Amino acid sequence: MSGGERSAGMERAVRTGGGEWRRRVLEAHVIAELRRRLPDGARVVDAGCGSGGLLAALRRARVPWELSGFDASVLSVEQARARGFRAVVPARAESLPIRGGGREAAVCLDLLGKACVDEGAVIEEMGRVLRPGGWLMVNVPAWDVLGVGGGGERRYGVGRLRELLVRDEWEVELVHGWDALGVLPAMLGRRGGGRSWWPRWLSGVRASLGEMDLAVCRALRLPVGTELFAVVRKRPW
């Protein structure tokens, strides 16, 4: 995913009342899900890492894992490297320049929903780079009713996302929506020309609400929200 694509994702987040709070909530959730599953020394790939936002969050969390990132934008890669992430390389997520079967986890945030990305090829590539028993985590925009974002953004229902992820080599462990609180404001914002219903000064409050929203959606496996999050495992045989 290019830096422009990641920026478009952030612009979508602002239109649905997101931005900084959304990034904080999603990154914390990814870290928690990875911690539930990975041992010390695991190798984690951020496919479509942009300028290194998730990598920075992982570093702040002092995770005991080996981190690497890939992005199609040379500018974004340079920005990530300037933040100290030397293991970030320019490459499209459909074809990563690493050997197969050598990673314990891969993360794709705000990547599969881009029309310029071959979603099926990305999933195939993640299956190639992960070792048997490895984990893939994805986050995609949900609900066609919310409209289409800049750059030809795809949106997913639970059925469409499962259809993409259900393959012979994958086991779908978890699919749920999140930001259920943002659905109505997003719909109203669309009708109002994209105006955000969450002013920036309420970002901290919105983040707290977002964390609670996500926790409930995960616990109950609710398919409701402006986003969908999924965890799948490469079969260990």
Give which of 114, 140, 138 is closest to 126, Cα–Cα. 138
All structural domains of the chain, each given as residue ranges with its CATH number in brackets, are 3-234 (3.40.50.150)
Judged by DSSP in three states, 80 sits in helix
Q: Which two tokens stand for residue 193?
A: 């020309």
The 3-state secondary structure of 147-169 reads CCCCCCECCECHHHHHHHHCCCC
Looking at 67-81, 154-168, 177-191, 205-219, which range is the least confident one?
Answer: 177-191
pLDDT band at 7 (very low <50, low <70, confident <90, very high): very low
Scan for tokens 């990641």, then name that residue: 6
Rounded Cα distance between 154 and 78, Å, is: 28
Full strand arrangement of the beta sheet holding 66-71: 88-90, 66-71, 43-47, 103-109, 130-141, 227-234, 170-178
Mean predicted confidence (pLDDT) in 18-35: 92
Scan for tokens 């020309």, then name that residue: 193
Q: What is the pTM of this model?
A: 0.88
Evaluate whether 152 touches 119 at the Cβ level (below 8 Å): no
**184-236: pLDDT as tens digits:** 877 776 544 444 556 677 778 889 999 999 999 999 999 999 999 999 999 99
Beta bridge partners of 138: 108, 230
Rounded Cα distance between 94 and 42, Å, is: 22
Give which of 52, 97, 89 is closest to 72, Cα–Cα. 89
Q: What is the number of other CB atoms lying within 10 angstroms of the CB of residue 137? A: 22
Q: What is the number of other CB atoms lying within 10 angstroms of the CB of residue 120? A: 12
